[in-house]
Chains A and B, each alone.
Chain A
Amino acid sequence: MFDIFFSYPTFDSMARLATPLLFACLAGLYSERSGVVDIGLEGKMLGAAFGAASVAFLTANAWLGLLAGIVVAVSLSLLHGFASITNRGNQIVSGVAINFLAAGLTALLGQAWFGQGGRTPSLPAGGRFLEITLPFAEEMASVPFIGRFYAEFLSGHSILVYGAFLAVPLTWWVLFRTRFGLRLRAVGESPAAVDTAGISVTFLRYRAVIICGILCGFAGAYLAIAQSSGFIKDMTAGKGFIALAALIFAKWKPVNAMLACLLFGYLDAVAIRMQGQSIPGIGEVPVQVFQALPYVLTVILLAGFIGKAIPPKASGIPYLKERT
């Protein structure tokens, strides 16, 4: 019983399940910090997963697959940017449209190209990111605690998992230590201040949504060509929305985002292991309870029970020079 909650396999699984959430959550962070609400993370991930799986299947090259995923997600991001930055459309509507577009197009094209009911064929060797064993993992395995931690938890993930967790300090550094980050944070709070400082609001927000697209590309590619071996219809299964919930839960901060994604990943990992198990004294807990927890926690946060989640002030509002 205890193993379900506290064991290396559970933690391993947590890290793997948190990875796509973390990529998507950081993607949303860049976008929303710039003032562009992105409810289309789900759609971008899905599009990227399909693109990555298709190209990885055709070229038998995981890196080209990843690149294709990024291209697809960035294209969708630019579409969102065009609608919401250039044309000042409603960002929620645009995001929802992207979700529908991606869900429909991936299934349609998948069926048309591969004829397997919307899924892509299983990837050939080389088309998938495999788990990496870190140096000296085998030797370290016998060292108690630290060695086991290294061998069983740190070692043995795909390179994208490491990438996701490295993106966290990188994002923090970009946001809080660089000129671009300062401007990005400013444009999400007060675009007029940025504009009067002589900086283009439009260009800044476009750069933010492009970064968002790149990270969504990683998230989708991870799902299709690292975690699985191919694309399955609707394989994101709401992960984009969980990432969005994690972003709110993290109060739009990078390190918090990692912790929130780890928490949600952990809940997912436990949910999988709980299937068919019963907790002494309580009995069998439906797996849906764990699946719903991220949302429940977010709602509790939003209701003000765990601090306050204040989004960037200008998020969701298209910028228009005011006629004074």
Chain B
Amino acid sequence: MTPAIELRKINKSFGAVHANKNIDLVVGKGSIHGIIGENGAGKSTLMSILYGFYNADSGDILVDGKVVSITDSKTAISLGIGMVHQHFMLVDTFSVLENIILGAEDGTFLSGGSDKARKELARLDADYGLKVDPDALIENLPVGLQQRVEILKALYRGAEVLILDEPTGVLTPAEADHLFRILEVLKSQGKTVLLITHKLREIMAITDTVSVMRRGEIVATRKTSETSMEELAELMVGRRVLLTVDKGNAAPGAPVLKVENLTVTDARGVTVVKNVSFEVRAGEIVGIAGVSGNGQSELLETLAGIRRPKSGTVTIGSEVLDLAHHPVDAAGMRAKSVGHVPEDRHRMGLVTSFAEYENAILGYQDDPAYAKGPFLNLAAIKETAKGEIAKYDIRPPNPMLKTANFSGGNQQKIVLAREIERDPSVLLIGQPTRGVDIGAIEFIHKRIVELRDAGKAILLVSVELDEIRSLSDRVLVMFDGRIVGERLPSAGEGEIGLLMAGVDDASAAASRQGDAA
């Protein structure tokens, strides 16, 4: 059977960066073909070339066996190629209908096209179960539905090949499952799907064939049924990757961080952290598990000096702090040797429009090592940045580059390097691997364990239960602002999951007995 899409020797460079090197790819008709690779491997560039957003420097594109020249998106659309971008290409202030017909209006006046689109939407709903209110404004729709509009847009234009670029990055697990069901339906109707992702689980769950990209090249193509997560991970990164964390037993020392009866209210006056007490010893990692929004973020921010608690004390080393009455700001907490890797690196961890070296000392700019009075010691700062880049394998290794131009994993490494290298005695880490690819995850986990072994007290907050269980020495579960239970990481996922869902400690423990029986 003629393949739906065939790429031959595609090359594309951006300045000195060779984003796509001699790409050969065959996508079978009516299949779901995955393209996996780390951030920056060239997946999105390749798909943008196929969609006509960029033009390849050399190489051929074949659609249904015929060589075509896709110079712009219009051509791609007319060849039946549709794309759902990672960042949705929707006009937020427009209705669903207006977004659907934009660029496919069918005549100078809108009324005819609108009526046609309305009928067509009803048909697409009937055929694929893609229901959406045509008159709803995009900005009022949840992300999952916005993505559905993107899919509908492509189908409305007669797409036979649908490219999805990291479609699940913005979706909740339930929404992602729903999306996969939709893709299955599309496949059963003979459509071809190209799924770009860096998540192994998705590849295994839904694709028929998978191509692995690394540094601009396709390094392997496999039938999904004949490969494994381990093999794909190795192909992606170029070396063996441990999908589990390799760590020895903790040797906890004296408590370094002690939290007693901490209560925090948010800006609206709602109590978000309720009378929380725990301690973290030197040389141990304490993980806080919980569904996002149960007070973990606020707890972390309070300990970092960003929020002022309502009551309670925090002890760091031997110093007792009554933060409610004598607040210490973020710089003050840093001075007390508390490092903080914020949950959201874009909002709190970095100034993405700054150069890398500037972010490498952000928050420590008054340190005498980097500043003399009001003047920065740029030479020393750049030296520090270079050292961290080398040690943390931050790529590209250029301290002058704007931070926004680094991939997510490398941005996270910049933040981690900054906080870890200041040698704090307490390290607060929020979502260390959110949006980070697996090669970098392995590296980050290793660094965190090393830090523990060096005798630091580490408090880890993550919504990834897997991460909490594999890194932590003890797991605290937060629900509705309270710590509802403490478990060893070896406790079953089900038991911790029950605690996270608000089941009380005793009942959760009983579930274990139930399991055993």
Contacts and interface: CB of A to CB of B under 8 A. Distances in A.
A189 B91 CA distance: 6
A177 B110 contact: yes
A197 B45 contact: no
B144 to A, nearest CB: 19
Nearest to A312: B93
B53 interface: yes
B108 A182 contact: no
Nearest to A200: B72
B108 A180 contact: yes
Contacts of B51: 196
Contacts of A198: 52, 72-77, 103
A190 B90 contact: yes
Nearest to B405: A323
Interface string B92-127: 111000110111110111110100000000000000
Contacts of B76: 198
Given A189-B92, A196-B83, A196-B85, A324 B44 contact: yes
Nearest to B15: A323
A321 to B, nearest CB: 7
Interface in B198-242: none
B93 A194 contact: no
B375 interface: no
Nearest to A183: B102
A181 B91 CA distance: 14
A199 B103 contact: yes
Given A178-B110, A179-B110, A197-B89, A189 B105 contact: no
Given A178-B109, A179-B110, A324-B48, A194 B94 contact: no
A182 B110 CA distance: 8
Contacts of A321: 53-54
Nearest to A186: B91
B90 A193 contact: yes
A315 to B, nearest CB: 12
B89 A192 contact: yes
Contacts of A194: 102-103
Most buried by B among A180, A195, A198, A313: A198
A119 interface: no
A178 B106 CA distance: 11
Interface in A189-227: 189-190, 192-199
B101 A182 contact: yes
B108 A179 contact: yes
A194 B93 CA distance: 14
A44 interface: no
Contact of B108 (A178, A186, A197, A199): A178
Interface string A65-82: 000000000000000000
Contacts of B72: 198
B94 A186 contact: yes
B53 A179 contact: no
A196 B110 contact: no
A195 B91 CA distance: 12
Interface in B420-458: none
Contacts of A323: 14
Given A179-B113, A196-B53, 8 more contacts: A178-B108, A182-B101, A192-B87, A194-B103, A197-B77, A198-B72, A321-B53, A324-B45
30 contacts: A177-B110, A178-B108, A179-B105, A179-B107, A179-B113, A180-B108, A181-B110, A182-B98, A182-B105, A185-B94, A186-B91, A186-B94, A189-B93, A190-B90, A192-B87, A192-B89, A193-B99, A193-B102, A195-B89, A196-B53, A196-B73, A196-B83, A197-B73, A198-B73, A198-B75, A199-B102, A313-B92, A321-B53, A324-B44, A324-B45
| CB-based closest 4 A-B pairs | A197-B103, A198-B74, A179-B105, A193-B89
